[in-house]
Structure 1
Amino acid sequence: MTPAPAPAPVPLSGPRFQTDPAALYREMRREHGSVAPVLLDGDIPAWLVLGYRELHQVTGDPVLFSRDSELWNQWPNIPADWPLLPMIGHKQPSILYTVGERHRERAAMISDALEAVDPFELRSLTEKFADELIDAVCAKGETDLVADYAALLPVRVLALLYGFAEEQGPGLVTALNDMIDGRDRAIAGQTHLATSMAQLLADRKAEPANDVVSRMLADSGGFTDEEIAQDLMVMMAAGHQPTADWIGNSLRLMLTDERFAASLFGGRNSVAEAMNEVLWEDTPTQNVAGRWASRDTQLGGRRVRAGDLLLLGLQGANNDPQVRIDGAALTGGNNAHFSFGHGEHRCPFPAQEIAEVIARTGIEVVLDRLPDIDLALPAGSLARRPSPWLRGLTELPVKFTPIPALGGSPA
C-alpha cells in the first residue's frame, strides 16, 4: 500500500496570520504535529516549533539549539536583498547572535543597567508622556489609540531612560515606527536610530549621567562601542513595538469583552488580568527567529538536520492543549507563557518589568482620563498588522466625551 504523501510545508505568510492565527496554529499542529515545516520568503525552509514542551526543550538547550546564525545551512540560498535579513542576521555583532560566555556577560551588563532604573521615576515618566498624548486629543472626542497613543508612548519613555534628550523623542518615535512598518522608510529609520545612538554614546563617554547608556559604558566587561550601540538598538526596538502592541491589544480586549467592563468605570484590578490574558491569547511577539541545530537531532518526532533553522512559535506554544484546560489558558496570575521567551536568551527580567510598568501605566492613564471611552468601529472590523512575527492592531479608533487638557504643551 502506497503511503500517503506528507503534508506540504506551510508558507509563513498570508492573511490568516492577520485574521485568525490561533486557528492556523491549531491546523498546523493537527496536520504536522508539534514541529511543523514552514517556508519563509523565497521558499526558504525552516521548522516552526508549536509544542510547549518542544519549545521549552529548544530554548533550554543553547548548545544543541544554538543562537549562532552562522550555523545556518541555507546561507548559500539567501539573496543579498532577502527581506528577512534584518531579522535573521548574518555576522551581526548584537547580543541576539552572541553565544556562550560572551552572551552571558553581555546579558548581565544589560540586566544590571536596566535593573538600576528607579521604578517610581519610570512610572512618573510614563504618566507624564501618557498625559501629554491624551492632552493632544482629549478635546476632540475621538482618537486612534494606536496611531495617536500606543505607537508613540514606549519609545518616548525608553529614550529618556537611556539618556536621550527629551526633544529627541519625536524623531526616535518616527524612526522606530518606520523600521517596523515603513518598508521604503525602514532603512532611513534604522540609519537615524544608529546615528543617534552613536552620538549618545560619544556624549556619555565625555559626560556620564544617571542613565542606562552611562551604566553600560561603565561596565568592566570590555565591550566595544559597536557592541553597546548594537545592543542598545536591539533593546530600543524590542522594548518599543511589543510594548506598544501590548497596550493596544489589552485596550482592545478591555473595550470588547464584558468581563473587563468594570475596569472602564473606575476599577483597576482587571487591568493586570487583561494584560496577562493578552500574553497568553494574543501575544505581541507571535514567532521569533530563531535557533539553529548544531548537529542532527530529533525534535517532536521530526528529523532536524545540522544547520536547520528553528522558529520559536511563542503563540503556538501558548495555545498548546497540554497547557490549557477546556481550551482556556491558565491565565489568572499564571505567567508560564512563552511571551517573553525562555532560557538564557529570553527577554531580561528587568526589561520585562519595565515593559509591564509602561504598558500598565499607559492603559491606566487612558481609563482615568477618558472614563466613558468606547470603540468607534465594530470590534470585528479592527485591522491587524499582516505579520507572522508581531501581532498588533494597526488602528484602535475610539470615541468619548470631550474633556479639557490637564495643561502644558502636547507631545
Structure 2
Amino acid sequence: MPEPAPELSYGPAPVPLFGARFRGEPASLYRELRREHGEVVPVLLDGDVPAWLVLGYRELHQVTSDPELFSRDSARWNQWPRIPADWPLLPVISPEQPSVLGTVGERHRQRAALIEEALEAVEPLELRGHVERFADELIDGVCGVGAADLVGQFAAPLPVRVLAHLFGFREEHGPGLVAALNDILDGQDRAMAAEGYLRTAMARLVAERRQQPGDDVVSRLLANARAYEVTVEEVTHDVMVMLAVGHQPTADWIGNSLRLMLTDQRFAASLFGGRSSVAEAMNEVLWEDTPIQNMAGRWTARDTRLGGRVLRAGDLVILGLQGANSDPRVRTHGSALTGGNNAHFSFGHGDHRCPFPAQETAEVIARTGIEVVLDRLPDLDLAIPPTSLTRRASPWLRGLVELPVRFTPGPARGA
C-alpha cells in the first residue's frame, strides 16, 4: 500500500474552495478570506484535499516569477497518494497532462513559442470580420423576438464558433463543438462523452490539415512543429487546450462585461449607440470580476515561506487571480477604471501566462461581440432584477448562468 500523504500544517481551520459562496460577489469573499487568514489562505479542494490559495498581489507575483521554487510540475505533489482515480480536478492537474499546460522549462518555452507564432499570423481586421459575421448570425436568431438570454444564446456560442473557424474546422462543426464544451463545463454525465467527441474532432482536423494545409492556425502549427521539436500528437493536444481555454473565459468576459454595462449607470451611454465605454467596462471586469478567478497551480520544489506561512515541499499552490487583483495594498481607492491599466493578473504572469497573441484574440472576440450586441439590439435592458442574476458555483471560472434581456424587436440583418 502507498504511504499516506503528509498533512499540511495550517494553523487556522482551512476554507473549502467550493460551494455556493462562490456565487456571490468576489470582493466581499476575498476580503473575508484575507481578513481571517492573510495573503496565503489554507484551503480544501473537493474531497478535502489540502492546498494553499495565494491572495496577495506581491505574493502571487513572487510565485509566478520563480518557476524553480514554485514549479508547474504536478508530479511533485505530496498529496498524490490520497487522490482517487475519479477525482474531479484530475483533468486539470494530472501528472500526465500531455498538453502545453503540463510542460516545464525549455520544453514549455518551445511549445508556447510555436503557439504564439501560429496565433500572431491571425490578421486583426480579418478576425474582427469573422466575429462580426458570427455575432450577426446569433443576433439574427433572437432580434425578432424582443427577448433573449445573452449568455446561452450569444456569449457562450460566439467564442468557440470564431475559434473553430480560425483553427480550420468546417462551419458545420461549430454547433457540435459548442455543445461538447458546454457539456464538459457542466461536469455532469455527458462530460466524458463530450471530451471524447472533442478528442476525435481534433484528431480528425489535424489529420485533414496534414493532408491539405490551409490558411489556419492548425496548419501553421503543423508547418512549424518540426522547427520547435513538437510532435503531431503534441499539436493535437495543444489545439484542444487552446479551444477549451480560449472559449469559456472569453464567453464569461463577454457576459460579465454586458452585465456590468446593464447594471452600472456609468455605462448607460454605451447602451444607446456609443462605444467609448466598452473597453473600459471590459477592463473593469478583468480587475473586479475576472472570468478566471483561481488557477491550479504550482507545486513547491522545497520547503519555503510565503506570506508568513510555512509551505512544505510538494504543497499545491492555487493562484488567486481575483484575490490578487483586489489586494488593497496595491489598489487605489474607488473604481478600477484606470485608463487602460493592465497590471491585473487576469491573464496570469511569468512563463506560464496566457500568450499575448491569445490575449489579443480574446479581446477582439469579446469587444467586437459586445459592440454587435449594442448596435443590433435597441433599448437593451435586463429582463430581471440585477439581484436575481445567478453565477456558477465555481471557484475557478466566474460567469453568469444566464443574462435575460428584453429589447424592441427588429429585423434580421439579411431581411
Query: What pairs with 1:8-157 in structure 2 (closer than 5 Å)?
Result: 8-157=13-162
Instruction: Report the secondary structure of 2:266's partner residue.
Output: helix
Name which of structure 1's ranges 399-408 and 128-137 shifts more when overlaid on structure 2: 399-408
Q: State which of 378, 389, 394 in structure 1 corresponds to 2:401.
A: 394
How far did residue 87 of structure 1 move?
A: 1.6
Q: State which of 202, 208, 213 in structure 1 corresponds to 2:213.
A: 208
1:294 is matched with 301
Structure 1 residue runs of 4+, over 6 Å off? none
Instruction: Report the secondary structure of 2:93's partner residue.
Output: coil
How far did residue 327 of structure 1 move?
A: 5.1
How far did residue 223 of structure 1 move?
A: 1.3
Name which of structure 1's ranges 210-219 and 175-184 shifts more when overlaid on structure 2: 175-184
Partner deviation per Cα, 1:188-232 (whole Å, 9 max, x = no partner) = 111111100000110011111111001111111221222111111
Whether contact under 8 Å (1:319, 1:329) holds in the other structure is no
How far did residue 120 of structure 1 move?
A: 1.2
Q: How many residues are treated as equivalent by the alignment?
A: 404
User: What amino acid is aligned across from residue 311 of structure 2 in structure 1?
Assistant: V
Instruction: Report the secondary structure of 1:249's partner residue.
Output: helix
Whether contact under 8 Å (1:323, 1:330) holds in the other structure is no
2:4 is matched with none
C-alpha distance in structure 2 between counterparts of 1:149 and 1:130, whole Å: 7
C-alpha distance in structure 2 between counterparts of 1:379 and 1:398, whole Å: 11
Whether contact under 8 Å (2:283, 2:337) holds in the other structure is no
How far did residue 302 of structure 1 move?
A: 0.7
Alignment of 1:158 onto 2:163: yes
Partner deviation per Cα, 1:259-302 (whole Å, 9 max, x = no partner) = 00000111111000000000000000000000000111111111
C-alpha distance in structure 1 between counterparts of 2:42 and 2:74, whole Å: 19
User: What amino acid is aligned across from residue 124 of structure 2 in structure 1?
Assistant: P
How far did residue 182 of structure 1 move?
A: 4.4
How far did residue 345 of structure 1 move?
A: 0.1
1:235 is matched with 242
User: What amino acid is aligned across from residue 42 of structure 1 in structure 2?
Assistant: G
Instruction: Report the secondary structure of 1:398's partner residue.
Output: strand
C-alpha distance in structure 1 between counterparts of 2:99 and 2:314, whole Å: 20
C-alpha distance in structure 1 between counterparts of 2:25 and 2:379, whole Å: 29
Q: State which of 341, 361, 375 in structure 2 corresponds to 1:334.
A: 341
TM-score by length of 2: 0.96
How far did residue 19 of structure 1 move?
A: 1.3
C-alpha distance in structure 1 between counterparts of 2:186 and 2:372, whole Å: 26
User: What amino acid is aligned across from residue 375 of structure 2 in structure 1?
Assistant: D
Instruction: Report the secondary structure of 2:319's partner residue.
Output: strand
1:403 is matched with 410
1:366 is matched with 373
Instruction: Report the secondary structure of 2:64's partner residue.
Output: helix
User: What amino acid is aligned across from residue 257 of structure 2 in structure 1?
Assistant: S
Partner deviation per Cα, 1:162-207 (whole Å, 9 max, x = no partner) = 0111111111111111111142111111111110000011001111
Ranges in structure 1 where 5+ consecutive residues have no aligned partner = none
1:344 is matched with 351
Identity %: 74
C-alpha distance in structure 2 between counterparts of 1:10 and 1:87, whole Å: 20
Instruction: Report the secondary structure of 2:298's partner residue.
Output: strand
Whether contact under 8 Å (1:243, 1:355) holds in the other structure is yes
How far did residue 20 of structure 1 move?
A: 2.5
How far did residue 326 of structure 1 move?
A: 2.1
C-alpha distance in structure 1 between counterparts of 2:228 and 2:262, whole Å: 47
Query: What pairs with 1:287-326 in structure 2 (closer than 5 Å)?
Result: 287-326=294-333
1:276 is matched with 283
Instruction: Report the secondary structure of 1:190's partner residue.
Output: helix
Whether contact under 8 Å (1:280, 1:339) holds in the other structure is yes
Whether contact under 8 Å (2:73, 2:95) holds in the other structure is no
How far did residue 21 of structure 1 move?
A: 2.6
Whether contact under 8 Å (2:280, 2:337) holds in the other structure is no
Whether contact under 8 Å (1:59, 1:343) holds in the other structure is yes
2:254 is matched with 247
C-alpha distance in structure 1 between counterparts of 2:280 and 2:391, whole Å: 22
Whether contact under 8 Å (2:26, 2:289) holds in the other structure is no
Name which of structure 1's ranges 336-345 and 83-92 shifts more when overlaid on structure 2: 83-92
Instruction: Report the secondary structure of 1:228's partner residue.
Output: helix
Instruction: Report the secondary structure of 2:152's partner residue.
Output: helix
2:183 is matched with 178
Whether contact under 8 Å (1:126, 1:157) holds in the other structure is yes
C-alpha distance in structure 2 between counterparts of 1:331 and 1:183, whole Å: 40
Name which of structure 1's ranges 6-15 and 68-77 shifts more when overlaid on structure 2: 6-15
Whether contact under 8 Å (2:52, 2:318) holds in the other structure is yes
Name which of structure 1's ranges 56-65 and 82-91 shifts more when overlaid on structure 2: 82-91
Whether contact under 8 Å (1:324, 1:330) holds in the other structure is no
Ranges in structure 2 where 5+ consecutive residues have no aligned partner = 1-9
C-alpha distance in structure 2 between counterparts of 1:183 and 1:67, whole Å: 28
